Structure 1
């Protein structure tokens, strides 16, 4: 079922190469959550278009008899960890928190995204003793990466 929904979303956004599917989650109560993102963000009108077209596809298919399903289409949200290489690239220049597979973490500015790793610039120490370092982090050492919002 998830594969069908992923296929339909692919068809719906095929004419918008700047948009990409991040994730689809289906809860046991037939609540379908679709997370789509864009290289320059996800405009609300794109969300509405995707939602309407996908809702129609799901209804037409009859995979949920009696229309017994809920559908939410949105961007992943700032609190969600980055999942795709494309999301990392989109967030170059932003502050991120990287949690490593061993549970340790670093917070710094995402400078570069390569095929197998990222480079994060972080500061060790405070005041006059502060040292700015660049850390190369292989993707296979990353548990999660979350964009940090500063106010």
Structure 2
């Protein structure tokens, strides 16, 4: 069984990224014209600020130069974070998106836009916004029901106190 260059690079670089307190989310080698570009996406539970990105970028560059893992040809190294409309593919992604508005494509084919309130090992508790003045409703989505999930950009994002109040309201509704 052969391994791809991306898989070999992941094996080489992931321990280094982890030692910096970050998760290696994605690694890709692309050709852009005559140049190759190594794109490395990192993140953490608390996010990755510019200083953390710069530190891991220097460490990765040194490791790549030391091991000659990219070969003799020139390449550009780009290190960044997943971005605003990130795709949620791992349990930790859902946890990090708590409080965020997410577009879910369900396994049955329906789409749902809802705010993640809680995440556990089996799935997510979400708040589906009310339409035309109606109150939001609570819903439970088990992970097998979710075919795809992507964070939505919000220009008027609810702050964390609003989310906590919503969770409290949901608990009170469940108890009633």
**TM-score when normalising by structure 1:** 0.84
> Residue 46 of structure 1 corresponds to which residue in structure 2?
52
Shift in Å, 1:114? 1.4
1:38-65 deviation per Cα after TM superposition (whole angstroms, max 9, x unaligned): 1111011111111121122222222333
> Residue 62 of structure 1 corresponds to which residue in structure 2?
68
| 1:51-90 equivalent positions in 2, closer than 5 A | 51-90=57-96
SS of corresponding position for 2:66: helix
Out of 102, 107, 110, the position equivalent to 2:113 is: 107
Aligned residues: 148
Q: Which runs of 4+ in 1 moved over 4 A?
A: none
Out of 2, 7, 10, the position equivalent to 2:11 is: 7
Shift in Å, 1:28? 4.4
Is the CA contact 1:22–1:84 (under 8 Å) kept in the aligned structure 2?
Answer: no
- Output the CA distance in 1 between the equivalents of 2:101 and 2:61: 36
- Output the CA distance in 2 between the equivalents of 1:148 and 1:139: 19
Shift in Å, 1:143? 2.5
Shift in Å, 1:133? 1.9
> Residue 121 of structure 1 corresponds to which residue in structure 2?
127
Structure 1, unmatched stretches of 5+, are: none
Structure 2, unmatched stretches of 5+, are: 156-176
Higher relative contact order (CA 8 A, sep 6+): 1
Greater percentage in strand:
1
1:98-148 deviation per Cα after TM superposition (whole angstroms, max 9, x unaligned): 122343211111011111211111034322xx2432221122222222222
**TM-score when normalising by structure 2:** 0.73
The structure with more radius of gyration:
2
1:2-41 deviation per Cα after TM superposition (whole angstroms, max 9, x unaligned): 2332233332233344x21211122245322111111111
- Output the CA distance in 2 between the equivalents of 1:139 and 1:26: 30
Task: Report the RMSD for the aligned CA atoms in angstroms.
Answer: 2.0
